[in-house]
């Protein structure tokens, strides 16, 4: 069965805001009554996410290995496991491929024989939703904790540190609140270790003690290997013991930002990723559950649709700081009482180039999921979500390279926010 890929204009349209929780959203079926969900099907309803969400993956896997780990968002891991169609096993491997959205994958299946074999199965032709913003720092915390940005406090590449009044960056945690203080939700890894379950992470050595790992993925025994092959083989060796093994693959995102997700270099990288996954399938212990997912997809930015705030004095008015990223901007007002005026100016200037919400509107609409009162000041007074292939940059504070990335993510388009959740058993 082939995947029907919509045209790019449709893929760049904003999807409905994804919900959080154990509810089965429109178009969602249990594994025994699986149907393929297309964009057209989903557009008939404003409901996405629920059990079909990145936040559901690890809680569902915890139930699949017999040690359910509920979270503040997902109270019934067994229901998630059944809905997503995960079989019950003693050992599971979860692979997260940074930047490999569902539709990015679907459009390049000719280069990926192993992934193509998985996508030929109807159960794997059902995308799930990632969080908003659709970016690594936010999504990794959603994945690791099984919750949402409104609870993890990780809501973008950069955001306000309310203790200092400055912008913090949440990859290296520059000028940020310490990781374990900012992100206080227990991770699924921690919950499993508390139950005596083996939990192993495999990745690059430099990520072992990184702030992002501590914030979003703490609680596992980390194995750092330099080469992709060694990381795959270490993953398979760990999976010989019952429990959960996590493998992170970053190259699709890295090459996408540098060269564009549809460049020859990206395609070559994608082919190597597929080979790594095929090796994983061949080398994993028989009966091991393999789940392949991602944190977000990517779009090709249109240079003609780039908006540089350095050239937009009207958009600068009343704005103290600009956080977030080029597809999901957070504006911090000089005077909070001017929030509605700032939002109105941005709506008038951008029209259909972005969706502009005040923080209160974004919270009420569930953009970040339930929001803890501690987290609210970290979010922008105004949230701007880009549409089409628009990017919003600020050359006053960003490097030339950062303002001209060929591929980006962060917004709520189908291309950025639909991610795979592929199931295989070794």
pLDDT tens figures, 193-207:
999 999 999 999 999
Residues of the chain with pLDDT under 50: 27, 29-37, 41-42, 44-45
* Average pLDDT taken over every residue of the chain: 94
User: Phi/psi zone of residue 384: left (φ > 0), alpha (ψ -120 to 50 degrees), beta?
Assistant: beta
In a domain, 176, yes or no: no
CATH classification at residue 210 = 3.40.720
Cα separation, 251 vs 205, whole angstroms: 15
Q: Closest Cα partner for 368 from 385, 354, 352?
A: 385
The CATH code of the domain that includes 356 is 3.30.1360.180
Q: Are residues 139 and 277 in the same domain?
A: yes
* Other Cβ atoms closer than 10 A to 302: 12
Same domain membership, residue 377 and residue 253: no
In a domain, 206, yes or no: yes
Pairing relation of β-strands 198-203 and 243-249?
parallel
Contact 129, 19 (CB under 8 A): no
> Helix crossing, 228-238 with 264-283: angle to 10°?
30
Domain enclosing residue 381, as ranges: 303-404
pLDDT score of 2: 72
- Please report the pLDDT score of residue 30 as a whole number: 38
Q: Is residue 61 part of a domain?
A: yes
Residues 280 and 347 in one domain: no
Q: 109 - beta bridge partners?
A: none
Residue 163 lies in a domain: no
Instruction: Give the whole-angstrom CA distance, residue 360 versus residue 364.
Output: 6
pLDDT value for 348: 98
In 199-250, which residue ranges form alpha helices assigned H by DSSP? 211-216, 228-238
Per DSSP, helices labelled H in 303-417 are: 313-316, 339-350, 359-364, 400-403, 414-417
Q: 80 and 198: one domain?
A: yes
Instruction: Compute the distance between CA of residue 204 and CA of residue 190 in angstroms, rounded to an integer.
Output: 21
Q: Is residue 89 part of a domain?
A: yes
Q: Are residues 213 and 316 in the same domain?
A: no
Q: Are residues 388 and 293 in the same domain?
A: no
Report pTM.
Answer: 0.95
Q: Which residue has the tokens 């495999």?
A: 202
Residues 196, 244, single domain; the answer is yes
Number of domains within the chain: 2
Q: Are 56 and 189 contained in the same domain?
A: yes
Please tell me whether residues 386 and 265 are part of one structural domain: no
26 and 133 belong to one structural domain: yes
pLDDT tens digits, one per residue of 120-168: 999 999 999 999 999 999 999 999 999 999 999 999 999 999 999 999 9
* Helices 54-64 and 77-84: angle between axes, nearest 10 degrees: 100
Whether residue 117 sits in one domain with residue 50: yes
Residue 178 within any structural domain of the chain: no
Position 170 in a domain? no
pLDDT confidence of residue 24: 81
Does one domain contain both 273 and 323?
Answer: no
The confidence score (pLDDT) of residue 29 equals 45
In a domain, 370, yes or no: yes
């Amino acid at each position: 069965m082939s995947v029907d890929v919509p045209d790019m204009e449709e893929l760049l349209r904003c999807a409905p805001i994804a919900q959080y929780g154990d509810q089965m959203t429109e178009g969602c079926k249990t594994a025994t009554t699986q149907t393929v969900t297309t964009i057209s099907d989903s557009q008939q309803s404003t409901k996405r996410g629920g059990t079909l969400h990145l936040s559901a993956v690890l809680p569902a896997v915890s139930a699949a290995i017999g040690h359910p780990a509920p979270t503040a968002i997902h109270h019934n891991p067994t229901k998630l496991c059944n809905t997503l169609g995960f079989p019950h096993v003693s050992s599971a491997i979860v692979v997260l491929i940074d930047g490999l959205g569902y539709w990015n994958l679907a459009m390049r299946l000719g280069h990926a024989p192993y992934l193509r074999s998985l996508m030929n199965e109807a159960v794997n032709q059902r995308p799930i939703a990632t969080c908003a913003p659709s970016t690594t720092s936010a999504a990794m915390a959603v994945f690791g904790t099984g919750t949402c940005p409104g609870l993890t406090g990780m809501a973008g590449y950069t955001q306000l540190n309310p203790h200092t009044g400055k912008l913090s960056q949440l990859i290296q945690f520059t000028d940020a609140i310490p990781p374990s203080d900012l992100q206080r939700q227990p991770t699924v890894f921690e919950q499993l270790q508390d139950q005596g379950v083996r939990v192993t992470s495999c990745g690059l050595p430099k990520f072992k003690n990184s702030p992002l790992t501590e914030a979003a993925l703490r609680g596992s025994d980390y194995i750092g290997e330099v080469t992709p092959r060694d990381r795959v083989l270490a993953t398979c060796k760990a999976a010989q013991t019952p429990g959960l093994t996590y493998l992170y693959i970053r190259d699709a995102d890295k090459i996408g930002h540098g060269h564009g997700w549809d460049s020859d270099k990206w395609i070559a990288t994608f082919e190597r990723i597929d080979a790594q996954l095929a090796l994983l399938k061949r080398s994993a212990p028989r009966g091991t559950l393999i789940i392949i997912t991602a944190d977000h997809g990517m779009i090709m930015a249109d240079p003609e649709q780039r908006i540089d705030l350095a050239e937009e004095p009207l958009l600068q008015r009343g704005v103290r700081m600009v956080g977030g990223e080029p597809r999901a901007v957070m504006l911090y007002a000089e005077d909070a009482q001017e929030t509605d005026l700032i939002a109105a100016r941005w709506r008038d200037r951008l029209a259909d180039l972005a969706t502009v919400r005040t923080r209160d509107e974004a919270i009420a609409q569930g953009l970040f999921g339930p929001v803890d009162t501690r987290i609210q000041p970290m979010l922008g007074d105004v949230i701007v979500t880009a549409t089409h292939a628009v990017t919003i940059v600020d050359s006053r504070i960003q490097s030339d390279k950062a303002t001209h990335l060929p591929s980006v993510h962060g917004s709520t388009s189908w291309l950025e926010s639909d991610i795979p959740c592929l199931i295989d058993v070794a």
